[in-house]
Structure 1
Amino acid sequence: MLDHTDIHILNELTKNSRITMKELGKKVHLTGPAASARVAKLEESGIIKGYTVKVNQVKMGYSVHAIIHIYTKSPNHQPYLSFIKQQEPYIINNYKTSGESCYLLECKFPSNELLDEFLTRLSNLVSYKLSIIISK
């Protein structure tokens, strides 16, 4: 069971996973070695699964951010899933969902023209509803 200090550690690591253990300890009122031991326990227990880097997609050349609700035309989803694997540079997340749609696809594209090409190919496999992200 997590205590208040563990939750505080997780909140601080979520804000900055590159924080030093000494700095983390100060923020959660522990010594650096005590904070390090707590983080190690959180990693060993599987609560902390890994550390990531947030990439600015616009600065990487991907100015179009799209959310696409996917509606499969048949119970066989394999053609769609195979297509998505081939589109890896454009795919951020592909969530299988319950509710309105079968999948929720989050994508990035360098241009509207490439998005249009992607959607044209996608429409041969599934129906979809497109939303473009304006701002975060």
Structure 2
Amino acid sequence: MLDHTDVQILEELSKNSRITMKELGEKVHLTGQAAASRVAKLEDNGVIEGYTIKVNQVKLGCYIHALLNIYTKSTHHQPYLSFIKTQEKFVINNYKISGDGCYLLECRFPSNEMLDQFLVVLNKHVNYKLSIVINK
């Protein structure tokens, strides 16, 4: 069970995972060594699974943020899943979901033309409903 300090540590690391242990300790009222020990324990217990970066997709030239509800044409999903694996440059997340649709696909595209090309091939495997993100 996490205590208040562990929760604070997670919040601070979520804001900046590159923070020094000394700075982290100051923010959660511990020494740097005590903060490092707490972080190591959170890692060992699997609470912290890894560290990552947040990439600005627009600065990479991917201006179109699309969400697609995916409706498979049969119970055999492998053709769709195989296609998605070949589209790593566009696909951010592919969630298997309950409710409306079988999957929720999150993608980024540099242009409407690239989105259209993707959709033409996607439609060979599944049906979809497209939504474009206007603002975050």
Q: Which TM bucket (shorter chain)?
A: over 0.9
For the residue of structure 2 that corresponds to 1:88, the secondary structure is coil
- 2:123 is aligned to 123
- Give CA deviations for 1:54-112 in whole Å, capped at 9, x if unaligned: 00000001111100000101000000000001111100000111111100000011100
Question: 1 CA distance for matches of 2:25 and 2:49?
Answer: 20
AA at the equivalent of 1:22: K
- 1:94 is aligned to 94
- 2:34 is aligned to 34
Pair 1:25 & 2:25 matched: yes
AA at the equivalent of 1:31: T
Cα drift, residue 48 of structure 1: 0.2
Structure 1 residues 1-136: aligned runs within 5 Å: 1-136=1-136
Cα drift, residue 39 of structure 1: 0.1
For the residue of structure 2 that corresponds to 1:107, the secondary structure is strand
For the residue of structure 2 that corresponds to 1:101, the secondary structure is coil
For the residue of structure 1 that corresponds to 2:30, the secondary structure is coil
Displaced runs of 4+ in structure 1, greater than 3 A? none
TM-score, length-normalised on structure 1? 0.99
Cα drift, residue 124 of structure 1: 1.1
For the residue of structure 2 that corresponds to 1:2, the secondary structure is coil
Mind listing any 5+ residue stretches in structure 1 that lack a counterpart? none
- Give CA deviations for 1:7-33 in whole Å, capped at 9, x if unaligned: 010001001101110010010000000
Question: 1 CA distance for matches of 2:101 and 2:11?
Answer: 32
Question: 1 CA distance for matches of 2:110 and 2:92?
Answer: 13
Q: CA RMSD in A?
A: 0.5
Question: 2 CA distance for matches of 1:56 and 1:134?
Answer: 16
Question: 2 CA distance for matches of 1:100 and 1:134?
Answer: 21
TM-score, length-normalised on structure 2? 0.99
